[in-house]
């Protein structure tokens, strides 16, 4: 029963975050699940929940389809995804979370406190593709595909609907391919199905609530929410990983 409640709580909280921001299910859910769930199970639940949330959000919050802008992210993500899936069984989860959490805790407040930072205009599609590739690797590791592309879109200075159109469609594509790969490689197995049945209903209403809130917020508020959520995710990842590393 405790396991079911933990999985449901993580799915509900992560679903709301994803509905609001268009990403972040994996980061938010892992902050709770990583304490007790085995890494392979946590990654599978994360990708399944993220995929479910992306499908719901894509129906309720439609933000266009700018293929020329989206294509570099997709191509990069598809190139990076196999590496993430390959590394997952060998991954040192606490070290990974500590590194990613540190980056988020340092970078996001700097971006939050410096709204007048010059926007990155150079790099073009190659730079967008590189951000997508890193997102693909992180997506293969457990559904974290939206983190780096979201930060990159923010640095690009794109408006919230432009950013949402890229991140929402990118994440949906990455989660579909990632989950299919998990099934093909045996990372997902029949023993996980009961917990999948917990995740889907637990996140449904929170995703819809988050998506509804997104429609009414301003550009500035959206940027603050995204960076704030990323910072909190980084703090949670450090809180769960540093004690483990110190005990080694």
Assigned token pair, 162 = 């432009």
- Closest by CA position to 27, among listed 149, 195, 145, 116: 145
- The structure tokens 């406190």 sit at 113
**Could you tell me the CA-to-CA distances from 38 to 24, 137, 192, 202, 231 in Å, in that order?**
20, 20, 12, 20, 24
Q: Is the pLDDT of residue 160 over 80?
A: no
- Closest by CA position to 11, among listed 24, 22, 1: 24
**Could you tell me the CA-to-CA distances from 22 to 40, 145, 169, 213 in Å, in that order?**
24, 11, 9, 12
Please tell me the chain's helix, strand, coil percentages from 3-state DSSP, rounded to the nearest 5: 80, 0, 20
Q: Is the pLDDT of residue 227 over 80?
A: no
For residue range 1-14, what is the model confidence (pLDDT) as tens digits? 788 999 999 899 88
**Confidence at residue 115, expressed as pLDDT on a 0 to 100 scale:** 57
For residue range 57-112, what is the model confidence (pLDDT) as tens digits? 777 766 566 788 899 999 999 999 999 888 887 777 777 778 778 877 887 786 66
CA gap 97, 234 in Å, rounded: 8
For the chain, the structural domain boundaries read 2-246
pTM over 0.75: yes
Task: List Cβ neighbours of 90 (8 Å cut-off, separation of 6 or more).
Answer: none
Task: List Cβ neighbours of 3 (8 Å cut-off, separation of 6 or more).
Answer: 36, 195
**Confidence at residue 121, expressed as pLDDT on a 0 to 100 scale:** 77
For residue range 98-143, what is the model confidence (pLDDT) as tens digits? 877 887 788 778 666 655 666 777 888 899 999 999 999 988 887 7
Q: Are 170 and 120 a contacting pair, CB within 8 Å?
A: no
């Amino acid at each position: 029963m405790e396991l079911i409640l933990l999985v449901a709580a993580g799915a509900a909280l992560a679903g709301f975050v994803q509905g609001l921001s268009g990403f972040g299910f994996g980061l938010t859910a892992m902050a709770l699940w990583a304490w007790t769930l085995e890494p392979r199970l946590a990654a599978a639940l994360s990708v399944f929940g993220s995929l479910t949330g992306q499908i719901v959000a894509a129906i309720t919050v439609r933000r266009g389809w700018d293929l020329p802008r989206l294509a570099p992210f997709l191509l990069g993500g598809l190139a990076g995804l196999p590496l993430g899936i390959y590394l997952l069984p060998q991954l040192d989860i606490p070290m990974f979370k500590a590194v990613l959490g540190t980056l988020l805790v340092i970078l996001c407040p700097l971006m939050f406190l410096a709204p007048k930072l010059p926007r990155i205009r150079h790099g073009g599609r190659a730079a967008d593709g590189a951000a997508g590739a890193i997102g693909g690797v992180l997506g293969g590791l457990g559904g974290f595909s939206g983190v780096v592309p979201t930060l990159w879109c923010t640095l690009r200075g794109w408006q919230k609907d432009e950013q949402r159109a890229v991140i929402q469609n990118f994440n949906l594509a990455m989660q579909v391919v990632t989950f299919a790969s998990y099934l093909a490689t045996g990372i997902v197995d029949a023993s996980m199905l009961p917990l999948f049945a917990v995740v889907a209903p637990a996140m449904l209403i929170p995703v819809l609530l988050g998506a509804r809130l997104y429609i009414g917020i301003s550009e500035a508020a959206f940027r603050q929410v995204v960076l704030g959520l990323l910072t909190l995710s980084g703090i949670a990842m450090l809180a769960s990983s540093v004690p483990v590393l110190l005990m080694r």
